[in-house]
């Protein structure tokens, strides 16, 4: 932790026990708007502000990887008007944030079927990906047109093709090999998953990678999710004991 603008709560976090990778299912934009009698799109707009705040919190505290579930493969089935508005917002986010990401040494990555995104969004994305590719601070991973099942199918197809071509023997297929075929290749598995809006499900997010993550569900709607709550969740994470199927360290005799 380096910044002197840290709140006392953030400064009290143990830098040795921070999650290396936090993944967030940013849910509840529509309900936030409905509560305020606004159009759902207004909720997504406000949600974009919460994205900026979460990114800044991770950067200030010294989290290495932040993955944000921004658009799922299933979200393509929403009304055309909402999908178009989300795509326009994403493009705007990329334009307005490009300089900030660069200046803050943040490297952008994406996971998902990004070839399904409209051309103009893809171009904006490619631009920021290439502009930030030498940055070595926070890794910001946007899950766009992402689905855990489609990711696994994509990986299995790649492996099957190599087996068919005789380049790979089935008994050399192991966890490392499969992990390396996922969109998240090279990115460590999340240590902490947060979902906002009170829903208690994964909605097809990082099915393979979350095998041993700690889960935190909060009723807060995504546009209301701020730094204070994020820091409280990190403090709670630091109290957890991760056993990975083994016994407590004080019972290991």
**Residue 16, number of CB atoms within 10 A of its CB:** 6
* Interface characters, 8-47, with Mg ion (x: CB under 5 A): -------------------x--------------------
**49 belongs to the catalytic site:** no
Establish if 66 lies at the interface with ligand IPE (CB under 6 A).
Answer: no
- Per-residue buried b or exposed e for 204-228, using 16+ beta carbons within 10 Å of the residue's own CB: bbbebbbeebbebbbebbbbbbebe
Q: 27 vs 191, which CB is nearer to Mg ion?
A: 27
Helix axes 80-103, 119-131, angle to 10 degrees: 20
Q: What are phi and psi of 118, to 5 degrees?
A: -60, 150
Identify whether 75 is a catalytic site residue: yes
Catalytic-labelled residue, pool 29, 39, 49, 75? 75
Which one of 19, 28, 112, 148 is in contact with ligand IPE (CB under 6 A)? 28
Nearest to 16 by CA among 61, 65, 68: 61
**Smallest gap from residue 122 Cβ to ligand IPE (A):** 18
Among 199, 207, 219, 242, binds ligand IPE (CB under 6 A): 199
CB 73 → Mg ion: shortest distance, Å? 14
Exposed/middle/buried for residue 71 (C-beta within 10 Å: 0-12, 13-18, 19+): buried
Quick one: residue 189, left, alpha or beta (phi over 0 = left, psi -120 to 50 = alpha)?
A: beta
Instruction: Verify binding: residue 86, ligand IPE, rule CB under 6 A.
Output: yes
Local structure of residue 68 (DSSP, 8 states) = E
Residue in 72, 132, 145, 184 binding ligand IPE, rule: CB under 6 A: 72
Residues that bind ligand IPE (CB under 6 A): 25-31, 69-72, 74-75, 86, 197, 199, 201, 203, 222
Residues that bind Mg ion (CB under 5 A): 27
């Amino acid at each position: 932790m380096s910044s002197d603008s840290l709140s006392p709560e953030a400064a009290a976090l143990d830098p040795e026990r921070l999650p290396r990778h936090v993944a967030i299912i940013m849910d509840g934009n529509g309900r936030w708007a409905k509560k305020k009698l606004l159009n759902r799109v207004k909720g997504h707009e406000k949600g974009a502000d919460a994205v900026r705040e979460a990114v800044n919190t991770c950067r200030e505290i010294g989290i290495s990887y932040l993955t944000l579930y921004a658009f799922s493969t299933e979200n393509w089935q929403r009304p055309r008007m909402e999908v178009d508005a989300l795509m326009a917002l994403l493009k705007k986010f990329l334009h307005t944030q490009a300089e900030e990401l660069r200046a803050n040494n943040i490297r952008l990555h994406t996971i998902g079927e990004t070839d399904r995104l409209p051309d103009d969004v893809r171009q904006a994305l490619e631009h920021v990906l290439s502009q930030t590719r030498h940055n070595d601070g926070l890794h910001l991973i946007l899950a766009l047109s992402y689905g855990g099942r489609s990711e696994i199918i994509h990986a299995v197809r790649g492996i099957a093709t190599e087996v068919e071509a005789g380049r790979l023997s089935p008994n050399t297929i192991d966890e490392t090999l499969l992990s390396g075929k996922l969109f998240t290749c090279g990115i460590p598995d999340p240590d902490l998953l947060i979902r906002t809006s009170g829903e208690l499900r994964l909605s097809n997010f990082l099915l393979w990678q979350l095998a041993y993550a700690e889960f935190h569900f909060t009723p807060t709607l995504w546009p209301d999710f701020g730094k204070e709550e994020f820091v409280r969740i990190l403090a709670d994470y630091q109290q957890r004991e991760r056993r990975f199927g083994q016994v407590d360290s004080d019972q290991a005799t």
